[in-house]
Structure 1
Amino acid sequence: MSGDQRHPGPGTPVAAGSPGSPPFTRGIRAVPQTGSYWPMGMVPLTRPVPSIAQRRARPQKVGFKTEQVEEDPRRAGGDAANHHPHHPTPLTEEGPTVFDAELRNELLRRMERDQAVRTAVPVGQPLPAEIDKEWDAVEAGNTAFLKEVIARRGWPGADVVGEDAAHAAWMLAQHADADPEFQRGCLPLLRAAVEAGQAKPSQWAYLIDRVRGAEGRRQVYGTQYWTQAGVLRLRPIEDPAHLDERRARVGLAPQADYDRTMRELYE
């Protein structure tokens, strides 16, 4: 997504539903946490935490298969996160993984604030200037925070912060629209986390579509919507005939079900 999305107009993107969470733009607020949408789940904090070497030895998530686009890890050659120019090498330091409760709590707090500002005004109503300003401040602060976390220790995966806070980390990246370079840079990091079992394939799918939309390119998984002349529309998709096959591989509901949900909520 790109551009100012506070007051949708013709051709202005307004929607980007989320697997089990409220959305990412000023136009769309929430998607139900039911059905095939991935819900934010809690995980026990007392379970054994495997080392990075053990996590690498795990098989990939059943059914996870990225598409043949340039973001595909099968074409990247090794651990793509190691080659990203702006961030150090996540999931590469040997040794035990330590659960970070402080980081977990901060990620959850920031996600809660992110959602609070998005639901402060009912859908379809103009944002007051003070909410508009606060929205920008929340997003900027969250982006800066996630940058610092990644630079210091790599992508915060589920073994380090729990599944719910790993979801929050993805959401902060998904909402970093004001910094498209950073947002794109998160793709190989999130992909590596998915392949290590530390993030959800659906999250990677949403971020790919988000980045592609910002670049004016066709999306792969059909997660992003926009308005044209006041009508909610799905953004252009590559190879639409096989869309549901791609969605199923990353754990997303069929496009018709997702589209119906979006229209019930926002038309």
Structure 2
Amino acid sequence: MPIVLPSPAHPTLSEPTYIAPPVWKRALAWAGVVVGGLILVASIGTAGGGALASLAGVLVGLAAAGPGGWWILCEHKDRTRAEEDYRLDREAALAAQSMSGQVSADALSPLTWSTPLAPYARRWPLVGSVSAAALVAGAALMPATTPTPVPAASPAAATGAIATSTVTSTVRSTTTTTVTLAPTSTSSAPAAPVAAEPEPAPASTVAPEPTYAPAPAQTYAPAPVAEPAPQSASYANCSEARAAGAAPIYRGEPGYASKLDRDNDGVACE
């Protein structure tokens, strides 16, 4: 309390005196005012998002700034009263000093200035109750936040993702093991090479030269040898034709004779 009354705790005081409050009280009061003011400005600025949420923010801001602002107001009132009392006492003392040699002390007694310097009423129970009620009301009016649902992935997208990630791996043995992934026929886009595990950069390797199987040698069938045209032959009977290996003999062939074709069907020596 800036204005301190004479009491056993202050035995040196003969009348109410103004004493400046400690710095930490002033800093705490101004911190509450600043925080509450920021909450008020933010709540008014976001009034378009919802009247209920804006009203809740205003109540919380008032609850935060109210006690500090009230303490600053009361301290200002006490300091103003003390400065006014000191000014009046000083003027009365100067007036009495200037007329002390000309007027008797009894005549100067009415000029003595005495003001009842009393501290400004704090009313902390009322201020605390109002601030607590505003804080509770603001917390009750604050709308509850609901988590935003995450849309589920469609089956087609999931199938595409699975098909894209389906790869076959080909491992080549070098000084450092590396894995090269090639896409299968189920994926239209090639997959980038993926390292099996974080390792230092693999040493450069030279791909082996491809080997080719020798082409089969082309073979050619020998040209058919023309058989010599048989010379005209004649056989006395079928036994002679069979002995020569010419039986049976068809009509028009060398050695055919009607005498050898008994049934005249065109085939001799059947």
TM-score, L = length of structure 2: 0.22
TM-score, L = length of structure 1: 0.22
Structure of greater relative contact order (alpha carbons < 8 Å, 6+ residues apart) = 1
